[in-house]
Amino acid sequence: MGRIVIGVDIGTTSTKAVAFTPAGRVVAHDAAEYPLLQPEAAAAEQDPEQIFQAVLQTIAGCVKACKAALGDVLAVSFSAAMHSLILVDAQGTPLTRSITWADHRASAWAGRIRDEWDGDAIYRRTGTPIHPMSPLVKLVWLRHERAELFASAARFVGIKEYVFFRLFGQWQVDHSIASATGLFNLERLDWDEGALALAGVRADQLPRPVPTTWHIEGLAADVAAQLGLAADTPFVIGANDGVLSNLGVNAVAPGEVAVTIGTSGAMRTVVDHPMTDPEGRTFCYALADRRWVVGGPVNNGGIILRWVRDEFASAEAETAKRLGIDTYEVLTRIAERVSAGSEGLVFHPFLTGERAPYWNADLRGSFFGLGIHHRKEHMIRAVLEGVIFNLYSILPAVESIAGRSAHIKATGGFARSGMWRQMMADVFDREVVVPESFESSCLGAAVLGLYALGHVDSLDVVAGMVGATHRHTPNAKNAALYRQLLPVYLSLPRKLGEEYRLLAAFQQQMAAPPPARQG
């Protein structure tokens, strides 16, 4: 088989492991899914044990599929979703599930931090917008509303730190994951005293921050045997999935923008020093080697496709499934019956609130402009366009920091659809390039692992590993139509802030359990 490096991505809905040669060729992959648990309104949790077992399963699956001999694996390097929070006791046993980025129970506290506790200054020091996704905001919520649970915790960690503790018995967090907590000072590369005080935690209750190139050896013999690895195989801590996705599509030079649509979505570009937005619209997270990633995430990506499939095209999807056709391909075929702009129908995809550029968990989805002439196919196309419009809304903030982009590098499951790729080119009025590897975070982790161990001299080697499978240039007619619609789309969330707040409060009231009867 020869030497390989394994990139592992601990994601929101699954963990994936991909084995690459040092030249970037995929030789094996494995994946394991797990559920998102919602025990109460606005909750979004996962079982840390399930995720740990998924990590073991996918690494072992890759090694087995490669028929790799002991010593063939140069490194196992990690990517992980951001913003998770687990409370653990002194022995490292979880006291909570992993509270994910999608959990909104801390929404009210995000508002108080922004309005009453100088949230803007915290954002400027830490690079993480004040939003319920942030571990800082989650900790403030737990401190005030789950005080007994909060007080019982010995440490506060994320999912990747928990996995490394289970493997090696140590608590470390890479600078990249740390920079997405709202607790980490970007200039000093250490925990921020003001943020810690607000959260009510001490630095020694958090993992020790380390560079993204930090690595460790010394797997227990039984774990090494289970994984099919030598006990001294280096494990590289890596970075968060967002910055590694940029690396994995080779969007690391000035002016290069990467767009990802998975369950959620994001737009990101790389800068050479920490930068925040005067209006608080973007994040700033560490990568490596004086490289920082600025951009914005959206809640509503592929999750919206699942919703529209189930609610608008369930019969067609069931037929497609019987015929062996991808169910999401059915959606694009239906949408193709309608011209660009959906004849004036606009969809705001805020079904789970929204992060960038609004950072408002109260936002709600809507069709705007619905007329008697609109049919199901118009609604489906409007939904697909709405997801792209939503990502476009981040572009002005990103370009105000990093300058105008010449083209977009797109990745994620949506990139398999030619119609959706062309739609992105038309909406953004930029060339859209789709890299050869869809698993960009795994490739980014693998390249970072090779760099961390000295097998390559620079992260720039990724340029020779990333081919391009598709290129789309804007259709001038469609781009002109979208330029007319975009101002309408962009203006409504700003104008309807109070209406969104009232509606969100009403929905929360209706979702609350009825009060217990007395007597």
> Which residue segments constitute the domains of the chain, with CATH numbers given?
4-242 (3.30.420.40), 251-432+474-504 (3.30.420.40)
Alpha helix segments (H runs only) across 453-496:
476-495
Cβ pair 233, 75 in contact under 8 A: yes
Q: What is the pLDDT of residue 518?
A: 55
Instruction: Give the model's pLDDT for residue 270.
Output: 93
Position 515 scores a pLDDT of 63
Give the residue from 206, 301, 208, 263 showing the smallest Cα distance to 81.
263
- In the prediction, which pLDDT does 1 show? 57
Query: DSSP label at 353?
Result: B
- pLDDT for 517: 58
Tell the burial category of 297 from Cβ atoms under 10 Å away from its Cβ (0-12, 13-18, 19+).
buried
7, 222, 235, 404 from 163: Cα distances, Å: 15, 16, 11, 39
pLDDT of amino acid 432 = 93
User: In 224-358, at which residue ranges do the beta strands (DSSP E only) sit?
Assistant: 235-240, 257-261, 265-271, 283-288, 291-298, 346-348
Write down the pLDDT at residue 78. Answer: 98
Asked whether the beta carbons of 227 and 63 are under 8 A apart, the reply is yes
Phi-psi map region of 189: left, alpha, beta (phi>0 left; psi -120 to 50 alpha): left
Cα distance between residue 244 and residue 385, in whole Å? 26
Treating both helix axes as pointing N-terminal to C-terminal, what angle do 418-428 and 476-495 enclose, rounded to 10 degrees? 70
* pLDDT < 70 positions in the chain: 1, 437-438, 513-519
pLDDT for residue 514: 65
Closest residue by Cα to residue 126 from 206, 209, 187: 187
Please choose, from the candidates 151, 251, 244, the residue with its C-alpha nearest in 3D space to the C-alpha of residue 205.
151
Cα separation, 106 vs 72, in Å, equals 46
Q: What is the pLDDT of residues 139-155, one digit of tens each?
A: 999 999 999 999 999 99
Is-contact 283 129, C-beta < 8 A?
Answer: yes
Task: Give the integer Cα–Cα distance in Å for 232 and 240.
Answer: 24
pLDDT recorded at residue 322 = 87
- For 348, the token pair is 């705001």
The count of other CB atoms within 10 Å of the CB of residue 494 is 9
DSSP state of 326: -
Map residue 261 onto helix, strand or coil. Answer: strand
Report d(CA 138, CA 134) in Å as an integer: 6
- Cross-strand partners of 411: 260
Q: What is the reported pLDDT for 210? A: 98
* Pairing outcome for strands 73-80 and 235-240: parallel
According to the model, what pLDDT value does residue 317 have?
84
